[in-house]
Amino acid sequence: MTSMQAIRILLCTLVATGVLATAAHADSGEKSDAAKYRHEVMEAMGSSFGNFILLYMNKVDQPDAHLIANAQALALSASLTADLVPAGSEGGEALPAIWDEMDEYQKYAEEVANNTAALADAAEAGDKAAMGKAFKAAGKSCKGCHDKFREEHDH
């Protein structure tokens, strides 16, 4: 097993464990389990985005493997976004417009998946310029989708 394969296995395990642990503490309000799951995947993406930028900007001194792992985690979570809004999963922070404008939501989901995959590829290659470009594009995709399809909140 290569070190990258080991990192990927560890990363998948950590993401799954984190999602399960967070889901276990999720509030028992009106959210469906599907809405809770959607929220946790989005939270994982947000954590990976934040960690990536700390490492990319050299605010945290860690080996390059950390930068790569966070980019891969982001890309992995982003690859799930197209499936996060099935019929019957209304609620949470998702606005009803998603279900009325599914084609547009899917466009954003595809963009973010492609942009984060490019980010992971650039991180693996050690190409800082390509990482910056892909990160900016991914952030733009996320923001566009959130502006249109997520209710406003304070965090």
**The domain that contains 155 carries what CATH number?**
1.20.120.10
CA pair distance 101, 104, nearest whole angstrom: 6
**Domain span including residue 72:** 45-82+92-155
Residue 20 lies in a domain: no
Residue 115 covered by a domain: yes
Asked whether residue 31 is domain-assigned, the answer is: no
Residue 113's CB: how many other CB atoms inside 10 A?
A: 20
Q: How confident is the model at residue 152 (pLDDT cuts 50, 70, 90)?
A: confident
Indicate whether 7 pLDDT > 70.
no
pLDDT digits (tens, 9 = 90+) for 45-78: 999 999 999 999 999 999 999 999 999 999 999 9
Both tokens assigned to 109: 């989901």
Tokens of 81: 């976004």
Number of domains making up the chain: 1
Under the banding of pLDDT at 50, 70 and 90, the label for residue 42 is very high
Q: What is the pLDDT at residue 31?
A: 83
Note whether residue 140 is domain-resident: yes
> pTM for the full model?
0.79
CA terminus-to-terminus distance, the chain = 40
Residue 22 lies in a domain: no
Least confident stretch, 4-8, 20-24, 46-50: 20-24
Alpha-carbon distance values, 127 to 14, 29, 36 (Å): 26, 44, 35
How far, in Å, CA of 71 to CA of 57, rounded? 14
